[in-house]
Amino acid sequence: MTTQAKLGQVTTKDYRGVTIHTYKSPEEGLYVTSQIVETDDGLVVFDAVFHTRHAEDLADYIAGLGKPVNRIVLSHIHPDHWSGLSVLHQRFPQAPIYALPEIISYIKENGQKILDARNEAFGNVVAKTPTLPDHELAVGAQTIGGVRFEFERQPDGESDWQTIVRLPDARVVMVFDLVFPAEHHLFTVASHFDHWIEILEALKGDAAKGYDTLMVGHGNPVGYDVIDGNIAYLRKAKDIHAANSDAESYAKALKDAYPSYYGGGWVDFSSLLLYGIINP
């Protein structure tokens, strides 16, 4: 079922007895998502979106579900996923915020500088100050409100540190920005092409165990059929990166290689990070 929030769009589905709401920001918010898992005793919310007003919209939607937020989990180090934590923390102050220790350290060290730079680049649309996760996420299996979760940590993918979350009963894997929808540009903001491809190759093994849905960081849930296209894109991007010494020529070559793909603006911005023009 798809419902319209005030600004974003929500897809709600029962995945083998586990209800998950996927909040998708509008285009100006990069279609960044938040996943809301309903458990026996409340909600577990993954990621907090980018623009402050979209985070307010997300918080309104969550409040409308009428269940307590028992936990918020941040997936990776990029600000389009954690800027909105300020709003979620304000609206749901009792909810602990979890992230891998490496992610917490990164935001502690770089968060303010990143928000200042993004507010300058995008016109004061994101949080003024970072809200730090206050609980360290442990890898491994955990049952929360009767729903089983498995948390995995991976370095050197789309970002320096990211979490993969499997829900074995729902047969859903939250891969966040490790996977993008078909015919979309990927965010190549770090030069970890080889290990990112390794992570994707390993993810394909889950399909044999019956997993069939991937929750992505930008866009609606997808199937495993998109992974090979993502891998081909990363191989191409790696070659283009090796052949080009500046951000502009990298972005042009990548857009020329995939002229029909959505997100040319994403490539322009990603290339500035990849070549260190914007850092961090």
Among 60-68, 103-111, 212-220, 221-229, which window interacts with Zn ion (CB under 5 A)? Answer: 212-220
Give the residue from 84, 83, 72, 67 showing the smallest Cα distance to 19: 67
| Binding footprint of Zn ion, residue count (CB under 5 A) | 4
Give the residue from 274, 271, 251, 246 showing the smallest Cα distance to 261: 251
Q: Binding marks (x or -) toward Zn ion, 156..195, rule CB under 5 A? A: ---------------------x------------------
Asked if residue 206 binds Zn ion (CB under 5 A), the reply is no
Asked if residue 217 binds Zn ion (CB under 5 A), the reply is yes
Task: Judge contact between 250 and 238, C-beta under 8 A.
Answer: no
Burial-class residue 41 by CB neighbours within 10 Å (0-12, 13-18, 19+). Answer: exposed
Amino acid code (one letter) for 226: V
Peptide bond preceding 280: is omega within 30 degrees of 0, i.e. cis?
yes
Rounded CA gap, 235 and 188, in Å? 11
Asked if residue 47 binds Zn ion (CB under 5 A), the reply is no
Rounded CA gap, 66 and 142, in Å? 24
- Stretch 50-79 residues interacting with Zn ion (CB under 5 A): 78
| Coil/strand/helix, residue 279 | coil
Q: Binding marks (x or -) toward Zn ion, 245..274, rule CB under 5 A? A: ------------------------------
Rounded CA gap, 104 and 110, in Å? 10
Shortest Cβ 228–Zn ion spacing (Å): 21
Would you say 147 or 269 has its CB closer to Zn ion?
269
Would you say 85 or 147 has its CB closer to Zn ion?
85
Shortest Cβ 80–Zn ion spacing (Å): 4
Among 51-59, 137-145, 149-157, 211-219, which window interacts with Zn ion (CB under 5 A)? Answer: 211-219
DSSP state of 198: H
Asked if residue 80 binds Zn ion (CB under 5 A), the reply is yes
Residues at the interface with Zn ion (CB under 5 A): 78, 80, 177, 217
